[in-house]
Structure formats: C-alpha cells, structure tokens
Amino acid sequence: MLHSDNLYDFRNQLKLRNISHEVMIEDVEDEIKKLTDISLKGANIYSHSTKDVHKFDFGRFHPFQDILNYVEALAKEFPDRVQVTSIGKSHENRDIPVIKISTLAKPQTLKKPAIWIDGGIHAREWISPAVVLFMIDQLIGEYKKDPFITKLVDNLDWYISPMLNPDGYEFSRSSTDPKVRFWRKNMSPAICANTELGSNICCRGVDLNRNFDWHFGEEGSSNDSCQDIYHGRAPFSEPETGALRDFILNVKDDLKSFLTFHSYSQTVMFPFGHKARSYPEDVRDLKSTALQAAKALKSVYGTNYVVGTAADIMYPASGGSDDWAKGKMGIKYTYLFELRPEESNMNGFLFDPGQIIPTALETWEAVKLIAEHVLDMFGNMVTDMAENQGPDVVGALDKIIDSEKESLTNPEAQIEKANEKTAAEKELLEYPDYENLGDPFSIPEPDLSKAQSLLVPEVLGGEPYVADCQKLIKMCQATEKGEMCQMVSTPCHMFLRTIFF
C-alpha cells in the first residue's frame, strides 16, 4: 500500500528493474468509506435471542459499546443460563468481557467439560468478533428449539470472549485512514528508540498474538515496536493477554477446547505454529478433527478451508495464544481459525458486511462438530445417564449408596434394605453402556484433598456426596471385597471417576 505522493516514483523504480505490476485497489481509503457506509446501514438481521428487548443487527459491524450492551442484555434476559463478567481491563481501561453459557449440572456436584471461544485479538479483523457474537446468539436463541444446540448447552460450559482487544478495535473504527483502519495491535504506550540515522522514532502497540508464553520472541515475531508483529517486552506484558491467562488458569482443568478466531485466509490451524513440522503428540486426532470441521464448514456454501499448522501452511508465528493453550495449558482440541476471504484476496480486511452472516453460518457448523467431539471424549457419563430417557441412574446410585451406608454401619438393617438395594442395582444395570465402564477397581484412588476442595455447601446443595463415597469405599476395603463390597464400590467409583478423571 502506497501513499499517492509516492506512487509516481515507485512505478518508475519498478520500470527501471523490469518488474511487472498491477494496481489492485486504486484508492484504499475510498474503499474503506464505501464499506463503512454499507456497515452503518446494516442488513436488519436481528438477534433472535433478544429480539424483543434489545435489537442487535448481525448484518453489520458494531462499536464495542454496542457489543457490551448486547451481552449484558443477554445476561439480564436469561439469568438461568447466561453470565457476563469482565476478566480485566485494557490499556485504555475498557472491560474485556467473557460470557458464560451453561445450565446447571445434574447432579450439581458434577463438572461439565468446557469450551473457550474468543475473537477480536487483532484490531482490524472485524469479521472475527462478528462471527463470535453470532455463535453466542445461536447458543442462546436456539436453546430448547434445536435439540442439538440444547444438548451442547446442557452438557457443556461455554466461555466466550467476543472482544479481546477493545482498544485496538475502537481505534481501527475511528478513521477511514488506512493506517488506522488496518491497525493490528493493542494500544499500549509508545516505545521510543534511536534509528541508525540518529533520529528518534516512537511507536505504540503490541501484537497480542505474539505476547503469549510459548517460544516467545522467536521466529515470526519482532522486537521492533514499530512492526505489526512486535511481541512486547515479555510474555504477558499486556493487560489483555494477562487477563486471558489468569482466566484460563482458573478453568483450565475443565477446558477441553480452545478456539480462537482471526481473519483472513480460510484455514483451520492446529498447534504448533512456532516452527515448521512441530506437532503435539495427539496431532493425528487434532488433524482428523480439523479436517472434519473443514468439511462441515464446506457443506454450507462450498467454502474451502486449508488444514495444517501455521508454520506448515502459512508462516511461523511464535508466542501465539493457541500454541500456549495447547503447549502450556494442555487443552485438547485447540484450533485457530482464519476466516474468509481466501488468502489471495488483497482486500481481505475490508470485509463486505453482506458476507458476515454466510461466514458465521458456515463457521458455526465447524464449531458444532468440534463441540460434538468434546462431548464424545469428555461428556460426563453420570449426567448423560441422568438425562437418558431410560432408568433413573442417579437415583439408583443414591439408593445403593444409602442402602450400603446403613448396612455397613448397622448389620441388622442389611436384610431390611436388601430388596430396595437389589432393585436399585437392577435399574443401574439396565443402562446399555454399563458393561463398557471397565473395571472400577483399576481406577486409582482419587485425591482426598481434591475431594475436600469440592465440598462447598452452596454448590452441592446437600450432604457431601463425594465424601460419602470416599468413606464407603474405605470402609468396604477395610473388610473384604465380597459381593456387597462390589455393589457399593462400583457405583461410587463410577461417580468419582466422572469428577476426577
């Protein structure tokens, strides 16, 4: 991109060197103005989750404050399954919002696997937060309407941040000057340095997706604050990346997928991106799932996405959030999506608002497929049993445990409780997947300190189920592993396994 004042000299230099050339966009600023006007008009495609109380047009790009208003309206309208919090402040004191979408786990002591989604880490990539907002609306608006969406909300916790870089985003919206519209970094204070010619130059901003603690400062990043890929002074030197790190650390044991959305080039990328041919141990599963996600995406409009690591299919990039999530946090299904348009499009950041909805619809299909893989691998068995249309498995577990507690402490009650216990066990064994649970006694004893940490009355809403199971198993093992012991230990081990393993 050249300023018009320099165009004549630049063309002459190309001619002198016999370099062929073609002008792709005559006036970039004029193109920005046209697309801005279109976005302001919108497409009148409203949220169907908050249509009555807070109209939100998904056919255009919104100011950050409108985005905040929208997610806060969701929390007010659907307090039973939506929570909004700020995980920190940006350099310019803007909130970094995270919305949690979930329903109460059944039983309340069970943890559900979780998925993280974020957008807007790079200021100029406006399509990223727009697509993420659409996903939020789908999870909320289609709940109890679409059976599969209902399953995703009931059985997963969703943590979604539509805007990780609010300062940079707002700056990129503040002018049609290409230098402003194409801003990539955050808005950290300027760093000044002397040039080789002796002059002083000052540049602000850090590339947030080079500021994570994974091969920080290596290939694909820069220590020059004037470069778009400036990595910052140190890992997590920026309040935005520090806030994300702190939040992820608090929920990482539950997170089974980390999805971050960028633009552009139409790729689904899995770790690691810092160096070519560098892969995690489960690369085959990651690649297979990514290929299936790309296929699901393509099924909507025929859009082709390339699958691979950033270093293999594009370029090395160290210090990325996805590599950190996989390499340091151990989050299983970690992917970075580069959304529409394809890489050959020289106009990619000037995204046509008319393409927001198609991009969001096809991308959502890929996300749903990944979520299904998370459920297949990590779905809570006891919760799934409880929601099954067959026997009341959780109730059966309760009956067995209550029966054995009294039998073990009061032998005279054993005969009295035998019939109730046998019926409950029969109900449990009717569950079709019971035989596939494996040997419960082969599971290592759970950490008692970890069990204690879960015994929070307001969370459990009743007596400490985990502690009861621990006590029963120890009492049983102190006597003998006979038939009675097997009957009490099996359901207890099953229950504890769903919590700790």
Model pLDDT for residues 329-382, shown as the tens digit of each residue: 999 999 999 999 998 887 788 999 999 999 999 999 999 999 999 999 998 533
- CB of 275 within 8 A of CB of 396? no
Quick check: 413 pLDDT over 90? no
Residue 452's closest CA among 500, 494, 400, 401?
A: 500
Q: What is the pLDDT of residues 108-142, one digit of tens each?
A: 546 899 999 999 999 999 999 999 999 999 999 99
292 φ, ψ (degrees, to nearest 5): -65, -40
- Which structure tokens are listed for 337? 């999506």
DSSP character for 447?
P
Which residue did the predictor score with more confidence, 458 or 141? Answer: 141
- Which structure tokens are listed for 95? 């909130």
pLDDT band at 199 (very low <50, low <70, confident <90, very high): confident
Among residues 338, 362, 404, 425, which one is catalytic? 338
Q: At 114, which amino acid appears?
A: A
Instruction: Calculate mean pLDDT across residues 429-436.
Output: 40
Q: What is the C-alpha to C-alpha distance for residues 338 and 28, in angstroms, rounded to an integer?
A: 22
* Contacts of the segment 57-60: beta carbons below 8 A, 24+ positions apart: 58/130, 58/133, 58/134, 58/137, 58/356, 58/357, 58/360, 59/353, 59/354, 59/356, 59/357, 60/353, 60/356
- CB of 98 within 8 A of CB of 160? yes
Cα-based distances in Å from 144 to 139, 147, 150, 151, 302? 10, 7, 5, 9, 29
Quick check: 457 pLDDT over 90? no
- Beta-strand pair 267-269/306-308: parallel
Q: b/e string for 426-454 if b means 16 or more Cβ within 10 A?
A: ebbeebeeeeeeeebeeeeebeeeebeeb
Q: What is the C-alpha to C-alpha distance for residues 45 and 59, in angstroms, rounded to an integer?
A: 6
Contacts of 312 (CB under 8 A, 6+ apart): 276, 277
Contacts of 319 (CB under 8 A, 6+ apart): 209, 210, 211, 212, 213, 214, 215, 216, 217, 218, 221, 231, 235, 274
- Which structure tokens are listed for 442? 């082969």
Contacts of 310 (CB under 8 A, 6+ apart): 220, 269, 273, 316, 317, 320, 336
Instruction: Assess whether 338 carries a catalytic annotation.
Output: yes
Report CA 173 to chain centroid distance, whole Å: 25
Contacts of 162 (CB under 8 A, 6+ apart): 67, 71, 97, 99, 118, 119, 120, 129, 132, 133, 136
Query: For the whole model, what pTM was predicted?
Result: 0.72
Instruction: Calculate mean pLDDT across residues 396-414.
Output: 48
DSSP character for 236?
T
Q: What is the C-alpha to C-alpha distance for residues 490 and 484, in angstroms, rounded to an integer?
A: 10
Domains and CATH numbers, the chain: 28-175+210-379 (3.40.630.10), 465-500 (no CATH)
The secondary element (H helix, E strand) that includes residue 261 is: strand 255-265
Q: Where are the alpha helices (DSSP H) in 81-165?
A: 127-141, 147-155
SS3 of residue 314 by DSSP? coil
Q: What is the C-alpha to C-alpha distance for residues 140 and 144, in angstroms, rounded to an integer?
A: 9
Instruction: Calculate mean pLDDT across residues 220-225.
Output: 96
- Beta-strand pair 82-89/95-101: antiparallel
Which residue did the predictor score with more confidence, 238 or 19? Answer: 238
pLDDT band at 196 (very low <50, low <70, confident <90, very high): confident
SS3 of residue 57 by DSSP? strand
pLDDT score at 389? 39
Q: What is the C-alpha to C-alpha distance for residues 197 and 202, in angstroms, rounded to an integer?
A: 14
Instruction: Calculate mean pLDDT across residues 231-245.
Output: 98
- CB of 123 within 8 A of CB of 172? yes
The whole-chain average pLDDT of the chain stands at 78
- CB of 183 within 8 A of CB of 205? yes
* E strand spans, 302-398: 306-308, 333-342
Instruction: Calculate mean pLDDT across residues 423-445.
Output: 39
pLDDT score at 492? 46
- CB of 268 within 8 A of CB of 345? no
